[in-house]
Amino acid sequence: MPDSPLLIADQDAVRLIRIDRPDKLNALNSATIAALDLAFAEAIADPAVRVIVLTGSGNKAFVAGADISEMNGLTPTEGRDFSLRGTRMMRRIERAPKPVIAMVNGFALGGGLELAMGCHLRIAADSAKVGQPEINLGLIPGFGGSQRLLRLAGRAATLELCLTGAAITAERALQLGIVNRVVPAADLEAETMKLAQQLAKAAPLALRGLLDCVNIGEDCALEEGLEYESAQFGLVFSTDDMREGTTAFMEKRAAEFKGR
């Protein structure tokens, strides 16, 4: 659609979703949230897509936050609904059965950091900055920022970032466990796509089982998580990919996984 806030392209089995509002630093308004929700639903349903990469247009911002001009006029009920829509979209990303990589090419602030944290992996340019600056607007994070940051970086870092609203460098975010890798800005897309292509060659059903184990395990007791992992481990023995992978290992050749 010509008015879509997204640019979508496929590179082999990798789908690249790019938020395309550079004049607004790719800020998340209602239309962009709805478009992302639909784009991820379609990517998840498409059997040709094995990995999803999410980024923003331009070199200034991944997503600089939620669209303040839209939020400014919301009532309390409308604000809650806006939060719930964003949270549902990010939960879809987080629960995706295919790996989702955030390619953080610039500012990831507020809703932008929340969006990145909803992805499974985050690769940041060395020039990127991240933060939860909502306190400076008289707000609090509304798309899961306080909860995901707590799980990634711990209580002390979460309170520091949310209470001060300060943005931190990509290197500091790496030290805190908020991002997985930091690379030179000039190499960001190449390094991200290299990882995406590596994951795209892995066994899709095993990837799905692993993502399920981590998602389930995060929200349950250890014993429940261990039981779920054992069940998923047994389940992959029913797949052609498991036979191909183990046979290829014994035959000292590269495996060719089909997702069956």
Domains and CATH numbers, the chain: 6-200 (3.90.226.10), 204-250 (1.10.12.10)
What pLDDT score was predicted for residue 102? 98
CA–CA separation, 15 vs 9, rounded Å?
6
- Range 66-87 average pLDDT: 93
Provide mean pLDDT across the span 246-260: 90
- Give the pLDDT band of residue 2 (cuts 50, 70, 90): low
**Amino acid present at 6:** L
Does the pLDDT value for residue 258 go beyond 80?
A: yes
* Catalytic residue (one of 114, 191, 218, 229): 114
**Residue 138 CB neighbour total at 10 angstroms:** 6
Q: CA-to-CA distance for 226 and 220, rounded, in angstroms?
A: 10
State residue 59's pLDDT score: 87
pLDDT digits (tens, 9 = 90+) for 136-150: 999 999 999 999 999
pLDDT surpassing 90 at residue 61 = yes
Which pLDDT does position 259 carry in this prediction? 84
- How large is the average pLDDT for residues 222-242? 93
- CA torsion angle for 32, 37, 39, 42 (degrees, to 10)? -160
| Element of type H or E holding 77 | helix 76-94
DSSP-derived letter for residue 12 is T
How many C-beta neighbours within 10 Å does residue 165 have? 16
Nearest CA to 182 out of 169, 168, 194, 200 is that of 169
| Separation CA 174–CA 197 (nearest Å) | 23
CB 76, CB 41: distance < 8 Å: no
Three-state DSSP class for residue 95: coil
Name the average pLDDT for the chain. Answer: 95
Roughly what angle, to the nearest 10 degrees, separates helices 222-236 and 204-218?
170
Q: Please write the tens of the pLDDT for every residue from 14-35.
A: 999 999 999 999 999 999 999 9
The yes-or-no verdict on residue 204 having pLDDT over 90 is yes
Distance CA 201, CA 107 (A): 30
Query: Is 114 considered catalytic here?
Result: yes
State what percent of residues in the chain have pLDDT above 70. 99
Sheet with 14-19, side-by-side order of all strands? 6-11, 14-19, 51-56, 100-104, 121-125, 181-183
- In angstroms, the CA 197 to CA 191 distance is 10
Tell me the β-bridge partners of 168: 130
Q: Pick the catalytic residue: 134, 171, 218, 227?
A: 134
| Over residues 81-85, mean pLDDT | 95
pLDDT in tens, 98-132: 999 999 999 999 999 999 999 999 999 999 999 99
- What pLDDT does 103 receive? 98
Residue 95 has pLDDT above 70, yes or no: yes
Question: β-strand 6-11 against 14-19: which pairing, if any?
Answer: antiparallel
Stretch 3-8: mean pLDDT:
93
Q: What is the mean pLDDT of residues 37-45?
A: 97
Q: Are strands 107-109 and 61-63 parallel, antiparallel or unpaired?
A: parallel
Average pLDDT value for residue range 155-166 = 97
What is the CB-side half-sphere exposure of residue 82 using CA atoms within 13 A? Answer: 21
Residue 134 is among the residues annotated as catalytic for this protein: yes
Q: Look at residue 1 in the predicted model and tell me its pLDDT.
A: 46
